[in-house]
């Protein structure tokens, strides 16, 4: 049997993989000069934009979902499917990647980090992040998820002779290995129960629409429950959900700022894409098992993240714990156990990504003149650098969910609506309390931006790439504030075909 491959379907991932190889070759044969470093960054940026162009072409094409790697060829089930869910996550990842590449160009300009290896590893991570939402079998899903995770270890440790970076890389490696082992155990149980790795087959067997392959009927519920819990636990590590969140702050602080931004948006988006796929597409018949787990995880995650963020004095650590809290808000709609709720989670994730990237871009600017990068270093930033200060203030207000940051407000409204509609009033109450807690530390940081500076301010310097990243993230946040319904319309979908 000859496997037929539709190269237009896999074009976004294929382009990134080819550009990754090209960057590695150029780095090996071109002389080590500043112009070469800039050139490699521009080649990486061009590859990301070309991949984004293919995603846009697939989106405007219309018609039924695209698929390839089908067995037998031309029929269902297929391992790779491009539908609205795939396009929403692939677009989010690639737009975020443009910002991360721009931040990387500023980080690499300081020297001390091998440029070719950095861009190669970054592109490999993006290959996994774009492939993962299109994966429709457990094998491809796990491989894509590890392709997202593995290069990040090296990216974190590429800052040579930096003890904190090495420590962060080791912590991230250990956590990721443990989470992968737990998830694979759960995947093996689900495969044993259903006899298939395809999510559609899993859904049919677990919903009672197809017979299980010879497993005693009385053993099926227990094995499925254990498998579901282990798979959810594995993904909880990836998205830094409680109680698997303790690594987040140390890793974010020890890693270079562009890697922290990548972890908070691209890696998190990939983790949520995989989680939503497995739950809504593969385990929809077991919603009674995993929906309550999602509600409890969401409540614990948003509460722990917000309470820990209250104590932080470092800007990066505050964003790290804030990111944990935001994971709780994204998890909350999944407690409803429906595809529409998954759409609300996706909408919140897209809006959160724009705001968080804008905050990290300004943090990157400040880190160039303040090594400690504490909250007090932001005093008077709105007067020293008005554009950066106002951009950070707007992003923080959006994250808090206050006007004029209407994007964050409507994101929370989307989530509240799904929670209340599902009858989870207790979870809505927990989220309301946590929103007030989050408002405190976001407002405190925002107030510092407009407070008089203490002592002499360091010279600002010019960082064109980072300034451009700030502008792109801010433009997205403003767009979502003006037209928040646009995001919801993009993401109200069946989480997958």
- Give one DSSP letter per residue of 412-473, joined into a string: HHHHHHHHHHTT-HHHHHHHHHHHHHHHHHHHHHHHHHTSPPPSPPPP----HHHHHHHHHH
Number of domains the chain contains: 1
Q: What is the largest CA-CA distance in the chain?
A: 75
Position 458 pLDDT exceeds 90: no
Residue with the larger pLDDT of the pair 419 and 409:
419
Structural domain for 383, as ranges: 11-453+462-496
**Euclidean distance between CA atoms 119 and 85, whole angstroms:** 27
Q: Give pLDDT, residue 494.
A: 39
7, exposed or middle or buried, with CB in 10 Å at 0-12, 13-18, 19+? exposed
What is the residue whose two structure tokens read 């990243």? 469
Report the chain's mean pLDDT, rounded to a whole number.
Answer: 83
Q: Give pLDDT, residue 153.
A: 87
Residue 164 belongs to some domain of the structure:
yes
Position 36 pLDDT exceeds 90: no
Q: What percent of the chain has pLDDT over 70?
A: 86
What is the residue whose two structure tokens read 């951009």? 391
Q: Residue 438 has which token pair?
A: 């989050």
**Lowest mean pLDDT across 63-72, 291-300, 396-405, 481-490:** 481-490
Q: Contact 115/258 with Cβ under 8 angstroms?
A: no
Q: Contact 239/268 with Cβ under 8 angstroms?
A: yes
- In angstroms, what CA-CA distances link 271 with 200, 220, 347? 20, 27, 15
Residue 426 belongs to some domain of the structure:
yes
- Give one DSSP letter per residue of 128-187, joined into a string: HHHHGGGB-BHHHHHHHHHHHHHHHHHHHH-STT-HHHHHHHHHHHHHHHHHHHHHHHHH
Residue 41 belongs to some domain of the structure:
yes
Residue 42 belongs to some domain of the structure:
yes
User: What pTM was computed for the model?
Assistant: 0.90
Q: Give pLDDT, residue 493.
A: 46
Residue with the larger pLDDT of the pair 64 and 137:
137
Residue 3 belongs to some domain of the structure:
no
Confidence of residue 21 (pLDDT cuts 50, 70, 90): very high
Position 162 pLDDT exceeds 80: no
Q: Give pLDDT, residue 378.
A: 85
Helical ranges in 195-311 per DSSP H: 199-206, 220-238, 248-254, 257-262, 268-276, 287-309
Residue 476 belongs to some domain of the structure:
yes
**Euclidean distance between CA atoms 243 and 209, whole angstroms:** 35
**Euclidean distance between CA atoms 214 and 232, whole angstroms:** 25
Residue 5 belongs to some domain of the structure:
no
Residue 6 belongs to some domain of the structure:
no
What's the gap between Cα 358 and its chain centre? 15
Residues 62-87: tens digit of each pLDDT: 778 888 888 766 566 788 889 888 99
Contact residues for 158 (Cβ-Cβ < 8 A; gap 6+)? 113, 114, 117, 118, 121, 165, 256
Q: Residue 71 has which token pair?
A: 């067995």
């Amino acid at each position: 049997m000859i496997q037929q491959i539709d190269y237009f379907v896999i074009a976004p991932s294929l382009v990134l993989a080819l550009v990754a190889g090209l960057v590695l070759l150029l780095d090996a044969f071109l002389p080590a000069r500043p112009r070469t470093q800039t050139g490699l960054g521009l080649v990486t940026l061009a590859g990301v934009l070309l991949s984004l162009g293919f995603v846009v072409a697939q989106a405007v094409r219309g018609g039924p979902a695209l698929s390839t790697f089908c067995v037998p060829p031309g029929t269902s089930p297929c391992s790779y499917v491009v539908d609205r869910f795939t396009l929403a996550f692939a677009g989010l990842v690639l737009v975020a990647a443009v910002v991360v590449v721009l931040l990387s160009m500023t980080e690499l300009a300081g020297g001390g980090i091998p440029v070719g290896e950095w861009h190669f590893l970054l592109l490999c991570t993006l290959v996994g992040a774009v492939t993962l939402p299109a994966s429709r079998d457990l094998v491809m899903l796990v491989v894509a998820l590890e392709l997202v995770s593995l290069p990040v270890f090296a990216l974190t440790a590429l800052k040579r002779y930096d003890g904190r970076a090495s420590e962060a890389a080791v912590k991230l490696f250990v956590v990721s290995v443990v989470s992968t082992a737990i998830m694979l155990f759960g995947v093996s149980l689900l495969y044993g129960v259903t006899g298939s790795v395809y999510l559609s087959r899993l859904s049919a067997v677990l919903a009672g629409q197809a017979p299980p392959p010879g497993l005693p009927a009385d053993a099926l519920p227990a094995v499925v429950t254990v498998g579901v819990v282990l798979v959810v636990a594995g993904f909880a590590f990836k998205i830094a959900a409680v109680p698997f969140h303790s690594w987040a702050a140390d890793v974010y602080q020890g890693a270079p700022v562009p890697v922290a931004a990548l972890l908070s948006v691209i890696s998190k988006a990939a983790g949520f894409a995989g989680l939503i796929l497995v739950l809504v597409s593969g385990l929809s018949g077991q919603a009674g098992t995993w929906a309550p787990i999602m509600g409890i995880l969401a409540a614990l995650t948003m509460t722990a993240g917000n309470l820990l963020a209250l104590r932080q004095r470092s800007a990066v650590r505050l964003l790290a714990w804030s990111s944990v809290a935001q994971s709780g808000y994204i998890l909350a709609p999944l407690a409803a156990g429906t595809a529409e709720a998954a759409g609300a989670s996706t909408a919140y994730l897209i809006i959160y990504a724009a705001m968080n990237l804008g905050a990290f871009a300004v943090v990157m600017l400040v880190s160039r003149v303040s090594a400690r990068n504490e909250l007090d270093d932001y005093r008077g930033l709105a007067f020293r650098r008005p554009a950066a200060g106002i951009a950070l203030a707007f992003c923080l207000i959006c994250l808090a969910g206050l006007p004029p940051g209407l994007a964050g407000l409507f994101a929370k409204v989307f989530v509240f609506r799904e929670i209340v509609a599902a009858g989870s009033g207790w979870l809505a109450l927990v989220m309301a309390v946590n929103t007030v807690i989050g408002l405190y530390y976001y407002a405190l940081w925002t107030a510092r931006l407009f407070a008089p500076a203490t002592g002499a301010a360091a010279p600002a310097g010019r960082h064109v790439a980072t300034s451009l990243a700030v502008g792109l993230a801010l433009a997205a946040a403003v767009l979502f504030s003006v037209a928040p319904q646009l995001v919801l319309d993009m993401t109200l979908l069946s989480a997958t075909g």
